Structure 1
Amino acid sequence: MRSWNWIWQALWWHHFFLLWTTIDGQTRYSIPEELKQGSVVGNLAKDLGLGLSDIFDRKLRVASEAGEQYFSVDAGKGELVVNDRIDREALCGQSASCVLTLQVVLENPLNLHRIEVEIKDINDNSPRFHTKEMSLKIAETAAVGTRFILESAEDSDVGSNSVRSYTLTKNECFTLKMKEVEDGKTVPELVLEKPLDREKKAVHQLLVTALDGGNPVMSGTSQITVTVLDVNDNFPVFDKNIYKVSLQENTAKDAFIIKMAATDADEGPNGEVEFYFASRTPDSVSSMFEINSITGEIYLKGDLDYERATHYKIEITAKDKGAPEMESNCRLQIDVVDVNDNTPEIVLTSEPQPVREDAPSGTVVALLNARDADSGSNSKVTLQLPKGSPFNLKPSFSNNYALVTNGPLDRETFSEYNIEITATDSGSPPLSSKKTIPVTITDVNDNPPVFTQPSYNVYLKENGVPGSILYSVSASDLDFGENAKVSYSILDSKVQDVSVSSYVYMNSDNGSIYSMHSFDYEKLKVFQILVQAKDQGSPCLSSNATVHVFILDQNDNAPAVIYPSSAALGSLSHQRMPRSAKAGHLVTKVTAVDADSGHNAWISYRLAEATDSSLFTVNLYTGEVRTKRAVSEQDDSSQRLLIEIKDDGEPVQSSTVTVSIMVEDGLHEPILDLRQKAVEPSKKTGRITLYLILSLASVSVLSLVTFLILAVKCIRSSRSSGSCCMRRSDCDDYKNPNRNLQIQLNTDGPIKYVEVLGGDMLSQSQSFRSCMSPMSEYSDFTLIKPSSTTDFKEVISVLDASLPDSTWTFESQQVSRQVVQRDLLPPPSVLTTVASVLVRSASRARCALTLKSNNIRIIYDCRRINVSLFGVQQDHR
């Protein structure tokens, strides 16, 4: 037992030193009861070491454990003043010490002070008898010196202000003496000084006065009527003067408590005893207990409650049936034993304060108190938080606790905590209760805005309307309030040595990007916009994203004739030919280029007007002007041709050139076939060469940009899903024989692969594939056997020109299979030429041709060419 006491003392000292810095020393005041409202108790601010400004700044407030707000603080003077009438007797009853405990709460930072106010008693209550009239029946045979206990007067005051003495009016038979009982208390006794003579005086009227020790003295009186009885001169006698019984407060109703025993020396009715509660028994006792008047058995009639009354003192009277009746009294003391029947209670001393999500561990959130109405071990309360809670309880004095943070907080994960605190007492069985405390987590700007994707691709047609919207980007922020408000801006960068802000501008509120002017595909094909999303927090956080803008070509350029040159002679070109020219004689070749791209740059030639339309023909795709028949002597020596050049765009753009041909006799100088090598470049051919070089350079730049975009996508994709590779593969779709000759450009944005298919009914179809996608397999080119070796040589010559590293051979009616690995496809202009040659080959072989990609599809069925661009079709018969 001694070891346990030592352990408890050690724990008490441990908690005392831990909490020394949190709770200041106690302050005690002493005041008399019944002070007027507004009376000063003491200078609270001075005693606590506070300035007057602290009362407002730290929101000083006073809370009383008694529940009633008897005191308040004068904010202007810092004084503790009386707020309401204080009645010591109502607060503390007969307790010698009456102390009111106050709690002074300060915020920012939270602090708690304990103040005790001692309420001193004043003589404001006079002694009072329970009954104003008392009756005594005394036999005339009563011996001199017989004592009769009188009712004691009660005084609500304590100490010297309580009852101190009694006086009795003068009479010849009785005097008043005091008898000391337990607990140092005295009761008045009426003493018979002279024998009674009923025949002389049957009734004696006495007045007893109770006096207190106050200044001034206060008193109370009670009238005593003494009736002198005859004959029955023995009164009942109890076997004990005091009976003591202990009852648990959960004892059931109607339970037997004790049986009283008293005897009377008389005989007959004068010796028959009946039991009663004394006439001055209070209602609180008579409503709780009942007594059997015959047997003297006492039973429990009400519900005991230790918290309401810890014991009961009952006066029991035993009366005989004599005439007159004789009676005696004894005291029954019933002690109530506490049972753990009250659940602990959690009371908030201060309301919980919002906590920043970056608050350090140990930040005080709220102050609370644990209490239990039971006593002893039944009133010892322990508090517990759920496991994993980022909060902790820090104990203080007198069952006071501080709720503090105990780990990192994240508002984006939990914006509010409902902290459930469980209070459990030490009773058997233990009782518990729960209280939920809501704690709000305030936001800190710790999350940057995040775009929906790291980069965006925007496809924009050229020649658009300035001020039109290009795209809208969006970013979200996990924070709250101002920390989550996102504004958008464009980071400064260069596009063709010009700031990107001169091309586009951005709405800072919704992330919409608008064009500043119209774009020209021929001048700018692609550019990047680096956008930034920034929140409104402090400090602000941001993130970036890239918007890739691809300009789509529109057919806004007409074909330009580069040969024959018309710079000096306007639109008229002079050519000569011998009259001896046969059918198919090459007269000249018209060459034109288109600044557009794709099918918008595909050019066709047509003879619009001629002096003799039966003599000349113009190749639809090459622009070669040849004779349709041999020149006769009847043909005019001067021929004039109007040749129209059209592109394949929508709407169609066209231009014309006029060729003047002089038919001369004896002209033997051969006209060079444009398919042969030039012997010696002239000034005109030099200019054509210059134009061709410029065209080739522009196409090469476009191909290089396409390759770079493909390479970047290839590198990004190869890190996760695969790698850019080429692998030889056979396509099951081409294993069946067919008579079609097909070239397919299959693209997904940038071109991915080209397929050339063909063969007669007896040949085995093979494929020629070039893989350019990071997701494609390792592939190769395979050239299939054509239906006509002679016709297909044109295709081979074009392929050889575009792919100089490859070689092709023919054996009888088939073409040997050769594999040539490629890093890049031929330029689009070469593919266009290949397509035109294949059209001729397909027409001669009576087979179909298909040239297609995601955006372009060409179908040739020997009757017409169907061109589809972005879903728009165009037929060429």
Structure 2
Amino acid sequence: MKDFCLHGILLFLGILFFSNATPTGRNSKTRHGRHEKGKEGQVLHRSKRGWVWNQFFVIEEYTGPDPVLVGRLHSDVDSGDGKIKYILSGEGAGTIFVIDDKSGNIHATKTLDREERAQYTLMAQAVERETNKPLEPPSEFIVKVQDINDNPPEFLQESYHATVPEMSNVGTSVIQVTASDADDPTYGNSAKLVYSILEGQPYFSVEAQTGIIRTALPSMDREAKEEYHVVIQAKDMGGHMGGLSGTTKVIITLTDVNDNPPKFPQSAYPMAVSEAAVPGDEVGRLKAKDPDIGENGLIKYHILDGDGAEMFEITTDYQTQEGVVKLKKVVDYETKKFYSMKVEATNVHIDSRFISKGLFKDTATVKVSVEDADEPPIFMEPGYVLEVFENESADAVVGRVHARDPDAANSPIRYAIDRHTDFDRFFSIDVHDGVIKTTKPLDREEGPWHNISVTATELHNQAHEAKVPVAIKVLDRNDNAPEFAKHYEALLCQGTHPQSPKCTKMSGVDKDDTANGPRLLYSFPPELIHPNQNFTIIDHRDDTASIYVGRGIFSRQKQDFYPLPIVISDGGNPAMSSTNTLSIRVCSCSDGAVLSCNAEPQTLNAGLSTGALIAILACIVILLVIVVLFVTLRREKKEPLIVFEEEDIRENIITYDDEGGGEEDTEAFDIATLQNPDGINGFMPRKDIKPEYQFTPRELGIRPAPNSVDVDEFINTRIHEADNDPTAPPYDSIQIYGYEGRGSVAGSLSSLESASTDSDLDYDYLQNWGPRFKKLADLYGSKDTCDDDS
């Protein structure tokens, strides 16, 4: 009912406003004309406006039964007789807005929403009803939708989350919430919002105009309450009655500040530790509580004072925020049984606002009791260094080790040597008092140090034992004579004269310590000093000496080797000495260069000279050469003179016209009939060249072969043919044997014949053929291509 009344009032005011308004259309005519002067004194008349109308308004969300009258269009030319027709066009014409074409009244047929569209632009025109002739130019006008408060305020978010530090001062800004209203902010109070808090008092408040939420109570403690739910309302119409409203929820969380110190739940913490514990072992734990969280709740611990400050230490386990007490030094139940110390817990990160209040630390007392434990024996020294002279007899005392039981029971101790450190069993130990002795004489030169390990075990608890290293130094005695550092040998040229340079330099070594032989002395044995005048010894007083040649001339025939004895003595007490031999050899020399130091055979020196030996060797070489030549010639003498290379055998065989069965073949190997019927005149066709390149004997100027069986002449003819035939290769001479006759006295010359081992022919007759046969032999080579197995 209220909305209906409001709409009616607004409609009445709108109509009243339209009736009193002055027309503002662009084409509307004035009811009174005005004269204006134009150019050159011409009087102009402004025409009267033809439209009578103004800007129109319509209220949104109208829900009455009848269409809403928006306004009326009227032209001055309209006399009311119905001859004028009004036409409406533009946005919403015909659908939202309709016009009475006679009266010009415009109605809205639908409910309008200003939030969807605030105004419409339309076009009006007056025409003759019958002819549709325009009476007025088209005119544009606007219909605005009048706003009503039909939209409640809406917040940008359904809910907000905010944080504020605990213990904040009153009025601390937390968050600003904002709402919006879709109504027209320029018309009335439909969009004027006011904020208020519905839930969250008395902890928070909100500014009515801005929506800023602020703290309202001092010293809000997170540890007491961490989260608050606040409901904020936004109301339009300036918050007055009848306005629309909207709400949102704000979740406010108090963030932690370091406003709580760590606090020990108890003032004293008892702990216990065994005297068998080693440094680093954990003794116990304690924890101070701090309700703060995050880095504000981090705690560190340290020892302030007390007699246990040097024996114990405390660290922080940041996973559990506990203080861990650990053993720093070994404790002894027999010495001290109780320790006390003061421990402090402080925050790692301290808030300066609470330093003055002392809210960042707390203290407690830690009492540690030492518990007795069955401990292993303890040696009086961490290690022992003992000494004994070498060559001492067995059972010589080396020294003593001592261990004790640290427990109050003071159990007896038994000693033993670890045999893994004394394989040769040089030492023994008394199981009761720890006295170490030798079991055999020691030699410093073999081992100057012996490192052993001694074990101490409790008599009543053999599981408890302790070990200690013992280093035994073997002291030196002068029991080794010095000697040559190596074998020395000197070489002398025979015929050496006095004033010759020194022969060699020697050095000696002494296995004993330098305290028993600070310097070595060199000398000849007493029995050789006077008789021997050839050599002189010079001691350089630096553990070295040199031998020089004395008077006399050395001859290899008389003596080529001199073993020279030399005595080397040390400076020990008593002194030790040894006799060493220097080997001196007499050598053959040339211009000072040694040629030979070996003994020469006496028979050669006495009988033959070097020239004679060279002559004998030359004769032997000549005889060997003669023998080799003889054997070589003998072998060549027995070799066949006509030989074919291995690669020629195939060609020689395939060019024979007919091969028989050997010497018995009268058609192939009878040398008496070497002239065949085809070659009676000395010519036989060649089979290895083309016919146009063959020459007859007459063309070459060679006489035909005789009919007699003259082998020498036959061969000479064939050689001459081969020499003058440029088309024949040098190896094919035997291919001219196209036919062999019967009854050959010499037998077949075929290489196949050479395979027969039963032939009794003597091939030495070829040697008598003379120099011409040699030329033939050169053509075919000198190697027999058929062996005895073919």
TM-score normalised to the size of structure 1?
0.31
- Greater CA radius of gyration, 1 or 2? 2
Higher strand share: 1
